[in-house]
Amino acid sequence: MSKGIILCVDDDSTVLNALRTLIGKIFGNDHLVEIAESASEALEIIEDHHKRGLQLSVVISDYIMPWMRGDELLIKLHEMYPAAIKIMLTGQSDLEGVKKAINDANLYRFIEKPFNNADLILTIRSALRAFHHEAQLNAEIAALKQQLEQKDGELAQLRGPAAA
């Protein structure tokens, strides 16, 4: 299995560097930890890695950013990569963007700033488990569908041309 991507998006470079250090220390052996200072940079990074066959596992985005808010970015990423787990960081008390992300981007969780490191790590760990569990279930479903198609073909052969 190739490394999945954990993407952190925040226009505050101090927060971004703290996220990269914290997340890289815990998850860096098994996942590629990327950072972006804007939604457009995040989309470029993900597109580049997607072309290389790497999969977006988790995206952690700030809510308030210039040009494109975090909820808008998460909705766009959800349309492109629905299996990716989305987490929003927010220092704002306005929950409208969080509600929008929950409804339109399948938001996994929102975490208020300043965030607790242990809580963030537990959230990411749980998100990765959910991501890998869903991928495993989808693979099992695909295998079962293939077996069903094979059995349907065998049954059609046993029935012969008269059944058609």
Strands (E), the chain: 4-9, 31-36, 55-62, 85-90, 107-112
Query: From the CA atom positions of the chain, what is the Rg in Å?
Result: 20
Q: What are the angstrom distances between the C-alpha of 117 and each of 11, 40, 54, 61, 150?
A: 19, 26, 26, 15, 50
d(C-alpha 16, C-alpha 61), whole Å: 10
pLDDT in tens, the chain (164 residues): 568 999 999 999 999 999 999 999 999 999 999 999 999 999 999 999 999 999 999 999 999 998 999 999 999 999 999 999 999 998 876 677 788 888 888 999 999 999 999 999 999 999 999 999 998 999 999 999 999 999 999 998 988 876 55
Q: How far is CA 164 from the centre of its chain?
A: 46
Helices (H) and strands (E) in the chain — how many of each?
A: 5, 5
- For residue 68, how many other CB atoms are within 10 A of its CB? 17
Q: Tell me the backbone φ, ψ of residue 7, rounded to 5 degrees.
A: -110, 130
DSSP 161: G
Among residues 121, 119, 82, the alpha carbon closest in space to that of 104 is found at 82
d(C-alpha 145, C-alpha 13), whole Å: 47
Count of positions (residues) in the chain: 164
Which structural domains are found in the chain, ordered by start?
A: 4-137 (3.40.50.2300)
What integer pLDDT is reported at residue 93 of this predicted model? 61
What integer pLDDT is reported at residue 162 of this predicted model? 62
